[in-house]
Amino acid sequence: MARRAPVDSLLRFVSRIMPPPLPVLPAGTRWLCRRKDLMLLVVEHPPQSRSLQVSGGKKGEQDYHAYRLAFPYIIYLLTFYRGDFEEMKMFYRTSPLISLEDTLYHTNLPNVRGEPGHYGSQRVCLRYRPEMLEGVPLCEAVPALIEFFWSTGFNQDIAGSAFERASMRDRRIGSFLSWEVATQEDPLFPLKVDWEPAERTLGGLWAECLKLHGETDQPVKTADEVADILYRLPVGY
């Protein structure tokens, strides 16, 4: 059965399901993609040294020790759904991002999930969703979330963590003490480490994210798809 609708009603409906205008983006943003209620933001940090509090035990054991550690390029992938923060993943690079097909590498942090090939691989542990994100503009919320992650104590809660996998690849990152010593000798040594390829790309991760939420990145291209929108248009809209 044919369905008719005024053009202005159709446009209002389409505008409602389309993403809103872009917000002011955080420093270091390399890519942003959105589809309906889903948004993926990619932030890149250059090589740097950070002070971490690390424990050799589980959460709650107060044996934390401070280490000054060097890192390569760090890629953060932050997912938001219906305006709410959903998860953050991390990857390494030994050079800046140039394309969506660039190789991403596994990290070596104990608070990051290992399991190559699993959708949750490289997801960081944030313990809970910080209240600092509620009602805060994206350009402020994302840096705050990243710093929150680095300020939390790193422990051995995650079995098969990214640290366990990476510690066997290079003696300089075999332990936190050796990592700190290597940092003192050469703060840029992480750019020369043979990191484990993640075998995933930004484009592929976005496609996985869309599939997980029942979406697709394909635009409306045919009259049949326009007709489908017409049939989904609420009566009296």
Question: Would you say residue 223 has pLDDT above 70?
Answer: no
Its pTM stands at 0.79
Is 168 buried (19+), middle (13-18) or exposed (0-12) by CB count in 10 A?
A: exposed
Over pLDDT 90: what percentage of the chain? 39
Distance CA 137, CA 109 (A): 28
The predicted structure's pLDDT at residue 237: 44
Residues contacting residue 68 through CB under 8 Å, at least 6 positions apart: 49, 50, 51, 180, 183, 184
Rg (CA), the chain: 21
Determine phi and psi for 30, rounding to 5 degrees: -110, -25
| 3-state DSSP assignment of residue 180 | helix
Determine phi and psi for 60, rounding to 5 degrees: 100, -20
Q: What is the mean pLDDT of residues 51-63?
A: 75
**Tell me: the pLDDT tens digits for 11-30?**
666 555 555 566 788 889 99
Domain positions in the chain are: 24-232
Q: What is the mean pLDDT of residues 131-148?
A: 83
- Residue 229's nearest CA partner among 82, 33, 34, 17 is 17
AA identity, residue 132 = M
Q: What is the mean pLDDT of residues 186-197?
A: 96
Of 40 and 236, more confident: 40
The predicted structure's pLDDT at residue 78: 94
The predicted structure's pLDDT at residue 168: 86
The predicted structure's pLDDT at residue 35: 85
The predicted structure's pLDDT at residue 93: 97
Q: What is the mean pLDDT of residues 55-69?
A: 78
**Tell me: the pLDDT tens digits for 76-119?**
999 988 888 888 999 999 999 999 999 999 999 888 876 666 66
Distance CA 151, CA 113 (A): 18
Helices and strands, number each (H, E), in the chain: 6, 6
- Please provide the average confidence, as pLDDT, over all residues in the chain: 81
What number of other Cβ atoms are within 10 A of residue 197's Cβ? 12
Determine phi and psi for 157, rounding to 5 degrees: -65, -35
**Tell me: the pLDDT tens digits for 150-170?**
988 888 776 667 788 888 889
CA distances from 68 to 45, 65, 71, 141, 219 (A): 17, 10, 10, 25, 47
AA identity, residue 18 = M
Question: Would you say residue 145 has pLDDT above 60?
Answer: yes
Question: Would you say residue 222 has pLDDT above 80?
Answer: no
CA dihedral 169, 206, 23, 225 (to 10 degrees): 180
